[in-house]
Amino acid sequence: MKQIILKKNTEFSIIQGHPWVYKHSIKTAPKNLKTGEPVEVLTHKEKFAAYGIADVDSPIFVRLFPSQNAQDIHKEIEKLIFEATETRRFLFRNSDTTAWRAINGEGDGISGLIVDLYGDTMVLQLYTLALEPYKQTIIASLRKAYPEVKHLWQTDKIRIIKSDGPQLLYGKDKTGTASFKENGMLFEADLINGQKTGFFLDQRDNRQLIREVSENKKVLNICGYTGAFTVAAAYGKACETVTVDISAPALQEAEKNMKLNGFSSPKHSFEKADMFNYLEEAKENSFDIVITDPPSMAKNAGERLKAGRAYRKLAKLAAKTTKPGGFMFAASCTSQISRQEFSEALLSGITSAGKRAVLLKESYHAGDHPVLPAHKEGLYLKGMLFKIYEK
């Protein structure tokens, strides 16, 4: 196996379990190394640090595996998939849920691999070409781990993966949709055209939180996408809901998901609008619960300050719209914004709205999205539930 030697003072995070070796951390590497090739990573003193696979055209030059016995990459991937499956089976053993993140990339030890389960259908996404040589092992392991799955789609959405679009790797159903349950709620996901793999599974626990506080409440869901938070609020016996999104197709799916669960009265409305425009025109103190879950506000670190200002503005408008004594839930999937920066932006916005807040709960993504302790980058989702009062 070819070897890569790290620069001095760069190996501590690797030894602690961080899954990435950046190009700038490397002292020496073989010149003829190919993407996907197994490598042994050594410290600057040439002592063993980790095994991984090369990703030579990426800033992440090596993607590491957690085990010190990962010489056989195919066997390591198979083992990690079965470990991840065992964890999910346990997490959802008594749950009325049939959709979850089956493989969460680095958090499950396989950097660059995402697999989501939706009932009898799975969706696979590769975020690195380094896994291409191992794709058949991944597919075979998934089929063995989830024998009940009838269909497996691959829907890569990043430019480095060159493909002819979504591919049905096995199965016969080519509709590209899947039906599933989440805590007893019914949903249908568009696996081909939808965001992520078709649904935001990472917000499961936060939807349950909204469900628990929605009884007899008037709920506003900003950036509602396909209405999952709205369905949760309706299940929680909300007396009225309004779902706002800029996308008409998303709102159509939201209305469909509400109808799947038997909620189709005039008390549940859907508005196509920009989030800022809608909130600026909304009456002050008009909703008991306001949910803001916008798309990522920054594509890179250079947009971090701009994102912070956007979150502040959104929080100000949301707080103004929230009745005194009501709830405001704010979520961020912007990885460039830290939890502290997000919290500070929200507090600044709430204060500038002439309101004060009590933080009731901070949240992350659900437990089927595990994170390596050394890989803080994996903690991308931030959620905060506030009780809002007049100053």
Name the packing angle between helices 204-213 and 228-235 (round to 10°).
Answer: 40
pLDDT in tens, 358-385: 999 999 999 999 999 999 999 999 999 9
Spatial strand order in the sheet of 167-170? 99-104, 113-118, 121-126, 151-154, 167-170
Is the CB of residue 113 less than 8 Å from the CB of residue 106?
no
DSSP string, 70-139: -SSHHHHHHHHHHHHHHHHHHHTTT-S--EEEEEEGGGGT-TTEEEEEETTEEEEEES-GGGGGGHHHHH
Q: Does domain 73-179 have CATH number 3.20.20.70?
A: no
pLDDT in tens, 283-342: 999 999 999 999 988 888 888 889 999 999 999 999 999 999 999 999 999 988 999 999
CA atoms within 13 A on the CB side of 305: 1
d(CA 306, CA 211): 32
d(CA 10, CA 7): 6
pLDDT in tens, 9-61: 999 999 999 999 999 999 999 999 999 999 999 999 999 999 999 999 999 99
DSSP string, 1-13: -EEEEEPTT-SHH
Is the CB of residue 224 less than 8 Å from the CB of residue 248?
no
Is the CB of residue 119 less than 8 Å from the CB of residue 153?
no
CA 194 to chain centre: 13
Is the CB of residue 125 less than 8 Å from the CB of residue 114?
yes
Give 295's DSSP letter: P
pLDDT of residue 226: 96
d(CA 119, CA 55): 33
Span 260-272, average pLDDT: 95
pLDDT in tens, 88-127: 999 999 889 999 999 999 999 999 999 999 999 999 999 9
Q: Which helix (H) or strand (E) holds 289?
A: strand 287-292
pLDDT in tens, 240-264: 999 999 999 999 999 999 999 999 8
Is the CB of residue 88 less than 8 Å from the CB of residue 149?
no
Could you say which architecture CATH assigns to the domain 2-64? Roll (2.30)
What is this structure's pTM? 0.94
d(CA 192, CA 244): 22
d(CA 227, CA 241): 10
Show the tokens assigned to 264: 């189709």
Kindly tell me the sign of the dihedral angle through the C-alpha atoms of 172, 174, 175, 181: positive
Q: Which residue(s) pair with 26 in the sheet? A: 6
SS3 state of residue 185: strand
Tell me the residue type at 236.
Answer: G
**Residues 6 or more apart in contact with residue 233 via CB below 8 angstroms:** 210, 211, 214, 217, 219, 221, 241, 289
pLDDT in tens, 155-186: 986 655 656 678 999 999 889 999 999 999 99
d(CA 287, CA 281): 13
Q: Does domain 200-390 have CATH number 3.30.70.1350?
A: no
**Residues 6 or more apart in contact with residue 241 via CB below 8 angstroms:** 218, 219, 220, 221, 230, 233, 234, 267, 268, 269
Domain boundaries in the chain?
A: 2-64, 73-179, 200-390
Is 296 exposed, middle or buried (CB count within 10 Å of its CB: 0-12, 13-18, 19+)? middle
